[in-house]
Amino acid sequence: MGDRVPVSEPVGVAEVVAALRAAGVELVELSAVDNAGTVRVKAVPVERLSAAARFGVGISPCFETFTFDDVMVPGRYLGGPDGDLRLVPDLGRLVRLAAMPGWAWAPADKFTQDGDRFVACQRAFAVRQVESAAEAGLRVSAAFEHEWALGRPDTEDFVPAFDGPAYGQVRLEATADYARELVGALREQGLAVQQFHPEYALGQVELSVAAADPVTAADDAVLVRHTVRAVSRRHGWRASFAPCLVPGGAGSGGHLHLSVHDADGNLFAGGGGPHGLRPAGEAFLAGVLRELPALLAIGAGSPASFLRLEPSRWAGVWQVWGREAREAALRLVTGTVGTEQWAANAEVKCFDATANPYLAVGAVVAAGLAGVREGLALPAEVTGDPVALSEDRRAAAGIRRLPTSAAEAADALADSTVLAEVMGPELHDAVLTVRRAEAERFADAEPAEIAAATRWRW
């Protein structure tokens, strides 16, 4: 998608419409993710797809500053009741929804009524960071892990749909038919599932898909969660990707994995640095590590996120890195011997599904590129559980907690010159407006109140 709305019918759209009709598709859903991580949608009958691809479908810019519970809080530049945007579908990602018969889906880019790209389009932000990486001779691959909990549909509380031990065969047996249908639906939609397994928390499972370029990875995240919810309903269950369902228990993350390549291969393998890191790979990770407090406001900035972000839960609450270090916010995965060139990657563990995935991938890439430009170096790695150390020993080792509240994370984003520059004033302020409004309104709320308010929003 370029920087202007097409002035004529996109090439091939007639063939796309004919194929959709032949497949029984009646409606096409166009989706965009707002700054609170909520997927907003408009739908058109299949015969209107050509017009939507040319002129877009109207949507109010007020959603740029909606909080997760649909409260509109105008920011410095965006929000309020006036104006209009156009959602223009990316026909290259259009797919028939296997779990929603008669429907197709496409991610949408945001344009103004004058035909220009909207300055705060989150998907365009991710595209720009991928282009910046390419200009530096780098290719980034990314993928999200998806954790979610399955509950009973007849209550607003969370009642697990099944029981059994973490990673246990009992849980797998309870979800076997569900998993088979889900994986089949994702395959029909062009996604390659890497693995599925029962997870640790109550009623929790996890699925991962193959890595792709960052924009495609963000598209895939939206499509995976959409499919999960649809298949769950067909099985009489209710799926939640919220970071915390029951205060005090383990929550669901949305970890981001990424690798970076240049013409010579993987920057995270084959070098002389720690665990095979090449100099540019180390600098990229050092840039991400430096910006993690600000990145948290984008990747896990909801008040609910901080119910999950507790030490000793493998949630990644420490601003440190380490090889296979599950308490570290930045985990280096080197792969087994012989697989390093294609398997080595880094995992940002502190993120969850409250994030706009386009902002998450774009911001992490931008942080890493800043590290490469500045030639940053990583500090000493940290292993084990830092909570076992005294405060003095943690301070001496440079081990710091990431922000412990939504307000603190928002302040870190406000102070980040790297992210402010790449996001631009309109998008940067809109994200801050949303995160600070959520933080203020829930500042005095009890954990149970926050969990109840967010349990079924993602």
* Domains of the chain, residue spans: 13-118, 128-454
Number of helices (H), then strands (E), in the chain: 13, 15
The C-alpha atoms of residue 66 and residue 184 are separated, in whole angstroms, by 35
- Report which of 1, 69, 74, 9 is spatially closest to residue 38, judged by C-alpha positions: 69
Query: Which tokens is 250 given?
Result: 């383990």
Phi-psi region of 344 (alpha: psi -120 to 50; beta: other; left: phi over 0): beta
Whether the domain at 13-118 and the domain at 128-454 fall into the same CATH topology: no
Type of residue found at 212: A
Hey, how many other C-beta atoms are within 10 angstroms of the C-beta on 147? Answer: 23
**In CATH, what class is 13-118?**
alpha beta
Q: What is the pLDDT of residue 211?
A: 97
Amino acid at 253: G
Spell out the CATH class of 128-454.
Answer: alpha beta
Residuewise pLDDT in 10s, the chain (458 residues): 567 666 556 768 999 999 999 999 999 999 999 999 999 999 999 999 999 999 999 999 999 999 999 999 999 999 988 999 999 999 999 999 999 999 999 999 999 999 999 999 999 999 999 999 999 999 999 999 999 999 999 999 999 999 999 899 999 999 999 999 999 999 999 999 999 999 999 999 999 999 999 999 999 999 999 999 999 999 999 999 999 999 998 899 999 999 999 999 999 999 999 999 999 999 999 999 999 999 999 999 999 999 999 999 999 999 999 999 999 999 999 999 989 899 999 999 999 999 999 999 999 999 999 999 999 999 999 999 999 999 999 999 999 999 999 999 999 999 999 999 999 999 999 999 999 999 999 999 999 999 999 999 99
Total number of residues shown for the chain: 458
- CA dihedral sign of residues 257, 262, 264, 270: negative
Angle between helices 122-135 and 214-234 (to 10 degrees): 140
- Predicted confidence at residue 12, as pLDDT, reads 84
* Locus of tokens 């011997």: 337
Q: What pLDDT score was predicted for residue 5?
A: 63
